[in-house]
Structure 1
């Protein structure tokens, strides 16, 4: 067989992009199921052609299917899988169709046969490559010119300091960094143009630099060049004397006010010392009175916490070994009882806090030791509440989980969810997890109601996902169990849409997960919207999806 035909057959099955044909695709090369070009053409007994990937969905779980050709004279000829054959002639004809280069939008004028497209695109001079400096996508034949004259990060030489600087940073370099760039004195020195590296030294000795009057500290606001400031200080003696007198008066008033504040602070300090001494004595008295109460409260709370902890440990052990419905109901009753005990304990603590050491004190009057003990008790109570919440969550997962390798997924509000997928708000949905056994693989399903990849906008896309589980270290990898994806018939319960595949053991989708879940794998063209949105599969705005995993040959742990 022609090697190019074999390689094309593989690419037709896995490619997510179809080429742009030079001429309109003849109807005889269009699949009647997916309306795309025939991928690995197969011939039915009636003579019609169909894509190889589109065959299994026609059968579902039945042994026979009918021809899907829908014209003025419908065929509907029944056939079995043994009556479907490879149409090598049609495959060869499709392979010889003329197509444009995938990079025709970038300027490539090449027209070639489809079988040669992949080889050409790998060496096409118009293939976009990334500029390693600016990261823009540039056609390969224009990359050199881009780096030399267009790239914003191309290196150019500064005409002042001769340093190599990226083109996009040149203006910033000139404005702020270049040590050789000529600058005019900001003080207005005539005919003074210096390099940036010399300007700082000039400003320190510039004859036109502005300086303040020597009497600035007492309120003079005069600022001018050195000569003018010297004249000002010589001629404004009377003004400066007035400022000195005013400053002296203000200083005297401030000193008097400070002295009064010091005297007032001394009196307040003495009063505070007396109050602190009284508070120390009162605190010692309260500590002696409340010590028996603290011991009694601590002893009672420890007993209650130990009892609650033991009951929770027993519950967890029962939960691990007897995850049955009747046990779950009993455990739920025990949890409710525990919650009531916790509530009563919290009320008792609140009453003790309100009563205080003598029955009418406030929390602020209690010693710090007692308040710390009460806070520790509250933390223990909060920890017990968290553990109870975790148990509740684990019970909910147990009630909905499946452990026989079969997922039954009911998706309500199909129309609304599909519209959310179209708008981009929620592109896909995940099912609840299911397992091959209680210690087996953990899995889920993922559905794109508005399609994904080749099926976007026209099909429902259904995928299978391997998730990270608790017992992965004890299971064989890669995952090798046969998977069946089904959309269930709600009308006569016989025309289920089914697609079955055997995992590719070289794919990362079936390796042992290192994150929460692996990359999904499945069928982008699982079922078209025109077929799905009929009373056969969509009823009461609800669809049912079933995923069945072959659980044979899995070692029992």
Structure 2
């Protein structure tokens, strides 16, 4: 046949067939499980108009018609593409003549495929009443719309039926079809109709006390019992005053009319008790207000003290001192710190070998105001006293001799670059140019383990709390 001359690279694939029949790899992992063959065996066999399928169109492996027929070049026999993987998986032999076959000598026959697809058939559901007939190719299109094919419920209720009954099932029988509650108009699945009616707020129910034949929407029953039902037992209006009478609504009116003195006496006692209780509540409220004021002052003090002092640890003192003497690095800056949680943002700076006229004789210590997130809420210019302390690290706490220097800012126009609200990242520094002389640094234990500690305290007595 002319199919023998076709390129093997044009072989179509079918579910479960080889991915590529002419694969150059010998690995059997390229063979897929025969899922397509199993699916074909589950499919109904076409009903041929000729009665039986001619043997030359029949697959010797699955005994059904050849679908995407594949021919072995060595013997000329045919097989389905879906049956090929099982044959190639163990010992590759032709199922017709048992001759060994090679996967490199397999081609498809498109002409034979066309012949088979043009065979006349009836619908596979002919016994159920379908009258369709046509070619095998057309049957594959027909089966998609055949009214006698068994389908499953689209609502996934678990039911199956012929397609022609689908509309009736979905509209009338399906347990999962959506229906509209006739009372509240809410859409609910049919299978949940009873449970919905048991809680539907608009479902009509009779009065639990059977006071009449009238029915009420479920949401109105409680209101009916509390305010309308003549058979509902209710407490006397003076129950909170101590009256224990319980009776039906009409009886309450009689009870009230017959016992005005008793009720008046109960009301008087209740008013007296409530007046005493109100006095106790007033006293408790005043006591709590005092506690709130006290706690508020404590919180305010804590807010002010948060960060109001800062201790700066400077290590490698001797190395840094030599750098200052050689003008390699004359000034050190501390990390910024705040006077309170939302207060001024400050930073310290120190010249270990002195600054200006004090250079070579004194240690110069300064402070500067940095731009902060809350500057718009603070009072300007900065006017709070700053105290610098060089901490003595003597182990005996009682013998420590700290060096203390206090700076009180002079609030005037000339000092605005130092004390005004920062415009740039930080203001000019101010402080103690002659904080302590260099010789003093070598006495006591101001320098210990090559480290010194500088403490800065900011007076927050008059600082505005935010």
TM-score with structure 2 length normalisation?
0.40
Q: Over alpha carbons, which structure has the higher Rg?
A: 2
Q: Which has the higher contact order (CA 8 A, sep 6+)?
A: 1
| Greater helix share, structure number | 1
TM-score with structure 1 length normalisation?
0.35
